[in-house]
Structure 1
Amino acid sequence: MMYWYGSGMSGWGYVLMTLSMVLFWGLVITTAVVLGRRFLREDRPLGSGPTTPEDVLAMRLAHGEIDEDEYERLMATLRAREITGPR
């Protein structure tokens, strides 16, 4: 018997149609998220972070991780190692 939409769609046709719709929209949303993250992220240029041990100590002092006495002690240790060389 012929129906308006052809010979009719069985249950498997509805399952296939539903799965393909979910996969399609999942692919569209995933692509949008990946592209959004790629183009909207903040790129930090190379070398923007501390590069020397002295810079690291200065950043730690600025962030309040160490106090001035510890900063001076660690800087003296670094300078002494520069003179004598690494162990």
Structure 2
Amino acid sequence: MKLLAFTTAALAASLPAYAAPGDGREYYGHMWNGGYGHSFFGGLFMLLFWGALIVITILAVKWFIDRDNGASPGGRRSSSAEQILQDRLAKGEIEPEEYRERMKTLREDA
């Protein structure tokens, strides 16, 4: 696994060397400078790419955090009030009579 990570990092670090072919004396007008109108679109697409990458990263982190916290897509907790009452009854925090009364109240409100 370390070998794969090292190889990937080495290849990623060497990518700029492949950007301008030749012996380095000539310049082909990549992205921002010169070159048949490509400079504007190259820069624009670079900004769009990095912007999309940042947004996707933020959304992925948010999704993982929400998933770990047990939140549903709507932002509310997945456990309902009825589930909480059932848990409290199972733990012995409330009596069965109080449980039935509260369940009745919850179902009337819904």
Greater relative contact order structure (CA < 8 Å, 6+ sep):
1
TM category (shorter chain) comes to 0.3 to 0.5
Q: Tell me which structure has the larger Cα radius of gyration.
A: 1
